[in-house]
Chains A and B, each alone.
Chain A
Amino acid sequence: MSNFSVAFRPRPDDDIMVLDLSGELDAHTAPEFEAALELARAGGHSRLIVNGADLQYVSSAGLGVFMAFVEPLRAAGGDLKVAALQPRVYEVFDLLGFPLIFDVKEKEEEAAGAF
């Protein structure tokens, strides 16, 4: 079941780190995602985009990780933006009202432009 993975991808043109998520982000895989975000932050990256093109599922535990990181990143002058979610995953974000708190964009470029 645990087919979740996170890949780091620094964007060449701007100081933005992209986290490519794939698989299912649930209570079991949330710590992995959290560790990745922590690593990025510890590496001095405060402008992060989570690219969910390959993300199949997100549970409330996964959403909780987004919540935990957005405020510290904003306090550090950066932000956590979300891009390219599949409709099913977007639905979960949307139900909870996440688009009211996060920049959730259809394309990664849009998200990068919103910093």
Chain B
Amino acid sequence: MLGAAAGLLAYTAAGVAPSAGTRALMGGAALASGLLLYGLLAPRGAGAEPTQDAVGILWRRLLVTIGLLAAVEAAPVLFGAGAADARHMPADLLSASGAVFYSILHLGVAVYLLRGLRRLVLARPTRRSVTIWRLFLVGTAASAAARLLTPPGQPPGFIHFLVAAAVAIFMAACAFRQQWIMPLPTGIRLRAGGLALALAIALGLTMGESFSGPGAVPVETWALRLQEARDDVPYAFLLSPAVGDAVAIPLAFGLLYGVTSALTLLFSLPTTGAYAQRAGEVRAFRALSALTLDPSQGLDRERLAAAVARAPVEAGIARAAWVALSDPSRGTLAPTVVAAEGLTTAAAARSVDAAALALDALEQRRPLVLARAAADHRVRARPGDGVGSLLVLPLVVGGQEHGALFAARATPDAFDEDETAALEAFAGQAALALSHAALFSEAVERERLARELALARDVQRRLVPETLPSVPGASLSAGMRSAHEVCGDYYDVAELDGGRIGILVADVAGKGAVAAFHMAQLKGIFQASAALSNSPGAFLARANEALRPSLGPRSFVSAVYAVLDPTEATLTVARAGHCPAILVRDNAAWPLRAPGLGLGLDAGPLFKRTLVEQIVPLRAGDVIAMYSDGLVEARDAEGGEFGYDRLNAAMLASVRAGDDDPARAVRDSLLAALDGFADPASAVDDTTLVVLSWHGASAGASDAAGAPFTLRPAFPEAALAPSSATPA
């Protein structure tokens, strides 16, 4: 540019007209510097979204254009009204300097204008729009280049005409790219429209002045005609027709774009609200989906509800919104307000009967539109409370009903069909997100439960004895299987005084965690009080008293407790509602079924009065099995029970003389018989088995033909005393 300027000045000073080639060279240099400037003005980095800066872009261009206009108006004052052969050369150095100054100024403004308009034209760019824009730029450069060889004042050639026509088409195509307008809010839109119009006017005036005013130069096709009509044009201030083209086309495009923008802005004003709302909806949907997709953030029910309530208000669709959810896990089936936006949760709960409205909407499976909310009996808000119209949107997905989203506006009849539809779609999304949240928290809860149950199972395994004491003359063996993570069966062995051994088998009614809890409690009772007495009845009565307060009205524990006295060779058994222990002697099975209530059924008097102990004087070869009902109630594939007959038969078959450890052999063969009958994997109840075999001395001489045991009341004094607790 500077070279071209220096050249022009030099030629002017010398008073010699440059040759056509030199002119072309100078014009080319000026064009090249314009292109360079365009490149230099490219924004650094990604640049802000033009929608946020549209007013700024237009405003700065307007100021620059006005500045240029002022400069052009001042041309005669600054550079003198020196006479010139307008068609050829500036007459003197001053006007030549003017030509250089204005060339640079015009080119700079043209490039600055293009840079700004580019951001508007290419807002939300498509591949096609970018291509058209580039074609427009290339066309402008080509059009200017085509003028390089044309001397000033000469009409442009045919090629230039073709190029200019193409540029006009691209220009028009670009002028209708107005994507930056859509997201603008109304206020900004008005200002932008005014600025675009002002810019168009300013550019029109500038072009008129630059190309046909007092300082105009006859460089352009249309300006040429103007110039021909005005012979008093004082001097040329543009270096060459090429520069004229390079300036005129951007300025003309600016004018066109200003006009189309102003029109678009003005015509779109009535729908501005809708646009703003759509944009808000998009934002709301985006906010919600971002929330639901981030499992670390969004899958919390309360936060999700708050986000759902916030969205309609943020989108500008509702003045206030709130969410009512039911929470079956906490036993509240009627939806209650859990989050609100635009008013407090308490105020939202006060303003309407949220439960009734939500249930109504859920039942209808579509939005409830209360155009005049105050007229509905379920709306408690008074006029002026901001609930003029109300939308109740069911939050339901599949069969899963979560509750409802409420959207309120201050005026009646405020929600149109589009808004209702948009909110309905939004509510569908929200319900889905809530379902996901529920699933997620259930999964977390399940995992937590599984972990805790695994821990409980571990703890429980340690509650039953790891090793059984060795007793002279007897052998003991035990086994336990739980059908659930934790079980309600329990067995334990305690060493009592005088070498006696207490053996307990118990079964807590019910299964799972509660049963396991009572089992642990029983363990505590057993450890603490078994050694206090050698009477099984006394221990069971104590256990009954200790358990009764903590067992609920419908739970109880059955137990059988046997005390083995190896010195006397006797076994004393008491039964508290439990399956009878079985004694096998001389190839016969004897159920030890003395009366006795289950633990926890009675406060004490009745329990004591009815409890009977069985005393078995032992003989070598006796085998006694104590077990839980999981054994006799085990079912085969057809639903048939294992039952007492099979148990007795299995015991008789398994008692063989000569085993090293008869108790273990009996236990193993009993469990094998059970497994042969029922699939252990399908067991529904816990199974416990303790086997005692006696191979010590036989107690006294007893009648082989009679019953192998004697009976005695556990509490003779209670059995004799009259009691008020007599059953009806």
Contact = CB atoms under 8 A, between A and B. Distances in A.
A95 to B, nearest CB: 6
Contact of A67 (B553, B576, B629): B553
Contacts of A71: 553
A101 interface: yes
A86 interface: no
A96 B597 contact: yes
A103 interface: yes
Interface in B589-605: 593, 595-598, 601-602
A90 B41 CA distance: 99
A60 B579 contact: no
Interface in B458-494: none
Contacts of A95: 558, 577-580, 593
Given A60-B509, A60-B510, A64-B509, A101 B556 contact: no
B625 to A, nearest CB: 16
Nearest to A103: B728
B601 A101 contact: yes
A64 B556 contact: yes
Contact of B556 (A96, A100, A102): A96
B577 A64 contact: no
Nearest to A96: B577
A97 B556 CA distance: 12
A60 B556 contact: yes
Nearest to A71: B553
Given A74-B728, A97-B596, A67 B556 contact: yes
A65 B610 CA distance: 22
A96 B728 contact: no
B510 A27 contact: yes
B420 interface: no
B578 A63 contact: no
B601 A97 contact: yes
A67 B510 CA distance: 14
B511 interface: yes
A90 to B, nearest CB: 14
A101 B629 CA distance: 21
B555 interface: yes
Given A96-B577, A100-B727, A67 B554 contact: yes
A60 B558 CA distance: 10
Contact of B610 (A67, A68, A97, A103): A97
Nearest to B600: A67
Contacts, number: 63
A68 B140 CA distance: 96
Q: Kindly name the residue among B510, B511, B554, B598 whose own CB sees the greatest number of chain A CB atoms within 10 A.
A: B554
B369 interface: no
Interface in B562-578: 576-578
A60 B511 CA distance: 10
A108 interface: no
B94 interface: no
A96 B554 CA distance: 13
A95 B595 CA distance: 8
B592 to A, nearest CB: 12
Interface residues of B, number: 27
A67 B556 CA distance: 9
Given A67-B553, A71-B553, A100 B578 contact: no
Interface in A85-112: 95-97, 100-103
Contacts of B596: 97
B719 to A, nearest CB: 13
B71 interface: no
Contacts of B727: 100-103
B683 interface: no
A16 interface: no
Interface in B694-728: 727-728
A100 B553 contact: no
Contacts of B601: 67, 96-97, 101
Contact of A97 (B553, B554, B598, B629): B598
A74 B726 CA distance: 13
A26 B579 CA distance: 18
Contact of B555 (A64, A100, A101, A103): A64
Given A97-B601, A101-B727, A68 B606 contact: no
A111 to B, nearest CB: 12
B510 A101 contact: no
Nearest to A81: B728
Q: Kindly name the residue among A67, A74, A97 whose own CB sees the greatest number of chain B CB atoms within 10 A.
A: A97
A6 interface: no
B510 A97 contact: no
Contacts of A65: 554
Nearest to A79: B728
A78 to B, nearest CB: 10
A61 interface: yes
Nearest to A72: B553
A60 B509 CA distance: 5
B428 to A, nearest CB: 35
Contacts of B597: 96-97, 100-101
A68 B555 CA distance: 8
Given A65-B554, A67-B556, A101 B509 contact: no
Interface in B504-559: 507, 509-511, 552-556, 558
A63 B580 CA distance: 18
Contacts of A27: 510-511
Contacts of A96: 556, 558, 577, 597-598, 601
Q: Kindly name the residue among B579, B580, B597 whose own CB sees the greatest number of chain A CB atoms within 10 A.
A: B597
13 contacts: A27-B510, A61-B509, A64-B555, A67-B556, A68-B552, A96-B598, A97-B601, A100-B602, A100-B606, A100-B610, A101-B606, A102-B727, A103-B728
Given A60-B556, A67-B601, A95-B558, 5 more contacts: A65-B554, A71-B553, A96-B577, A96-B597, A100-B610
Q: Which 8 A-B pairs have the closest CB atoms?
A: A64-B554, A60-B509, A97-B597, A96-B577, A68-B554, A68-B553, A96-B598, A97-B577
Interface of A: 27, 60-61, 63-65, 67-68, 71, 74, 79, 95-97, 100-103
